[in-house]
């Protein structure tokens, strides 16, 4: 892949026009003109011919699919930050490098997390539905009462780029910042955020007013918020998740929300998306979004630029800047 011949790059979903144009200029590119996932048969065909595959988080690149790939496939340049949709071990065993697009979605996702936090605590979606229904009868002193967020304790599960960006926003709203992480962050960052570190997730959960999920989905974080841990939350606590649905036991969460054992939830991701638990759809104390936490024009273009750089660097014989290493997950 170091000769002058353009590598065959197969893109599985519709990307921003400016990115597709750039790819067509640089590579022998096959695009997906429709904004729908490839079928399993189409994905197998892509794996059989592509030298570089550009999937998205909706494409399940499992061991069976990787093992069916032709020997020419050398790079999976994923369009997205999360890589839980790719079997990294299987890719490594086949000598296939995997890259992602970290960093460029930090502010967009943190903004949406803050928006969900506010919408949930202040019952924004409920109020909007009330007005649209035509049943609103006017202002009342006890109508649509929510909770102020200033002075409340925010527990952040995962103090990475997005968690830190969320903490900065929440501080501006007068919230108290608390976090649980695999490792304690640098003292300077902790001091900047005025953040309290909890080595025990259980102890943190039991004392928070709002909990935000900002950790990736890995085998270690699957159902990290199990039914046992959800029961540690106080009844007035809210949960916000813009990370991955698999981090929460969705069945247990739904049951507790319906019983009033948790005050409410703002969910941008779901355990089995795009399928959503029908019981969640019937709950008024839940704000539901279609996995749009990073959905900005600027963010999508920035993601595409990273994909292009990763591919170009790789075909030029160098290590891509955003290579994913299993040990770091």
Count of domains for the chain: 2
187-246 pLDDT tens trace: 999 999 999 999 999 999 999 999 999 999 999 999 999 999 999 999 999 999 999 999
Q: What is the distance in angstroms between the CA of the first residue and the CA of the last residue of the chain?
A: 28
Identified catalytic residue from 190, 227, 273, 305: 273
Identified catalytic residue from 94, 171, 255, 291: 291
Instruction: Say whether both 173 and 126 belong to one domain.
Output: yes
Residue 1 lies in a domain: no
Instruction: Say whether both 123 and 259 belong to one domain.
Output: yes
Residue 193 lies in a domain: yes
Instruction: Say whether both 162 and 244 belong to one domain.
Output: yes
| Closest alpha carbon to 262 in 209, 223, 214 | 209
Residue 30 lies in a domain: yes
* 255 is annotated as an active-site residue: no
Instruction: Say whether both 76 and 145 belong to one domain.
Output: no
Band of pLDDT at residue 3, cut at 50, 70 and 90: very low
Instruction: Say whether both 97 and 114 belong to one domain.
Output: no
Q: How far is CA 63 from CA 66, 68, 84, 90, 243, in A?
A: 5, 9, 12, 5, 24
Range of the domain at 170: 106-288
Tell me what the mean pLDDT of segment 77-85 comes to. 93
Identified catalytic residue from 244, 246, 250, 300: 244
Residue 190 lies in a domain: yes
Residue 328 has pLDDT above 60, yes or no: no
Instruction: Say whether both 269 and 180 belong to one domain.
Output: yes
Residue 133 lies in a domain: yes
Instruction: Kindly report the CATH number assigned to the domain that includes residue 62.
Output: 3.40.50.720
Instruction: Say whether both 180 and 271 belong to one domain.
Output: yes
For residue 56, which phi and psi values (nearest 5 degrees)?
-120, 180
Instruction: Give the chain's mean pLDDT.
Output: 95
131-158 pLDDT tens trace: 999 999 999 999 999 999 999 999 999 9
Residue 2 lies in a domain: no
* 234 is annotated as an active-site residue: no
Instruction: Say whether both 29 and 115 belong to one domain.
Output: no
* 186 is annotated as an active-site residue: no
Instruction: Say whether both 121 and 265 belong to one domain.
Output: yes
Residue 3 lies in a domain: no
């Amino acid at each position: 892949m170091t000769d002058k011949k353009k590598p065959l790059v197969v893109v599985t979903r519709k990307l921003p026009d400016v990115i597709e144009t750039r790819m067509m200029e640089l590579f022998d590119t096959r695009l997906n003109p429709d904004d729908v996932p490839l079928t399993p048969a189409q994905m197998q065909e892509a794996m059989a011919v592509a030298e570089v595959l550009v999937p998205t988080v909706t494409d399940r690149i499992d061991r069976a699919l990787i093992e069916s790939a032709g020997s020419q496939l050398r790079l999976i340049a994923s369009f997205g930050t999360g890589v839980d949709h790719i079997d990294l071990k299987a890719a490594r065993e086949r000598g296939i490098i995997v890259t992602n697009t970290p960093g460029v979605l930090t502010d967009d996702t943190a903004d949406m997390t803050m928006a969900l936090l506010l919408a949930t605590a202040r019952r924004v979606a409920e109020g909007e539905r009330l007005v649209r229904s035509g049943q609103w009868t006017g202002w009342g002193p006890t109508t649509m009462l929510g909770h102020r967020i200033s002075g409340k304790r925010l527990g952040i599960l995962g103090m990475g780029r997005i968690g830190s960006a969320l903490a900065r926003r929440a501080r501006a709203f007068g919230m108290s910042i608390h976090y649980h992480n695999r490792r304690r962050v640098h003292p300077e960052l902790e001091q900047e955020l005025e953040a309290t570190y909890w080595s025990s997730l259980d102890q943190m959960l039991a004392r928070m007013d709002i909990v935000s999920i900002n950790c990736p989905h890995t085998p270690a974080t699957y159902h990290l918020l199990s039914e046992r841990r959800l029961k540690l939350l106080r009844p007035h606590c809210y949960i916000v998740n813009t990370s991955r649905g698999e981090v929460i036991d969705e069945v247990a969460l739904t049951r507790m929300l319906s019983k009033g054992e948790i005050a409410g939830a703002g969910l941008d991701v779901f355990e089995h998306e795009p399928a959503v638990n029908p019981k969640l759809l019937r709950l008024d104390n839940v704000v539901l979004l279609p996995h749009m936490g990073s959905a900005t024009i600027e963010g999508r273009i920035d993601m595409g630029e990273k994909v292009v750089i990763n591919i170009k660097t790789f075909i030029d014989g160098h290590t891509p800047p955003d290579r994913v290493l299993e040990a770091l997950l």
